[in-house]
Amino acid sequence: MISVLRVLHLFGVILWIGGLLAVTSALRIASGQSDAEKRSSYALARRMLSAGANAGAAVAIVLGVLLLIAEPKLLHEGWLHAKLLLVLVLIFLHGRLFLRARVLESEPSYPATAKQFATLHGAFSLILLVILFLVLVRPF
């Protein structure tokens, strides 16, 4: 049963991070468009966040909690503490991106640069890489 939870948790993580990466890429491209084009691009990005990244986050978080309930001894592992801290950072950045996408959808002329979204894209990628390292290598 734990193996099934792990697979489903990983599936949620893939949906979550994949959605965040797709949205930051779309917003980076949209930042160079005209206001009329931006409006539809920003609306699409917000819908992608809601349907993909938010759903993936919910699945990953709920199944992560279930995994911790099934394997409470993991709560004593240092690598897990580091992973959970990075998950909190990820949730915070995800929330900021969601709020930003809502503002941009309602006000396409609001200042937004490609660099801002490229930086977020890189941050999401780096967080995923470090989490993968922590989970697979378990360095401490």
Task: Judge whether 124 and 17 are in contact, CB under 8 Å.
Answer: yes
Structure tokens at 37: 């084009």
Helical segments of 31-77, H only? 35-48, 54-70
For residue range 51-110, list pLDDT tens digits in order.
Answer: 999 999 999 999 999 999 999 999 999 999 999 999 999 999 999 999 999 999 888 888
Give the residue among 102, 100, 19 at the shortest CA–CA distance from 58.
19
- CA end-to-end span of the chain, whole Å? 26
pLDDT for residue 31 is more than 90: no
| Predicted TM-score (pTM) of this structure | 0.92
pLDDT score for 36: 81
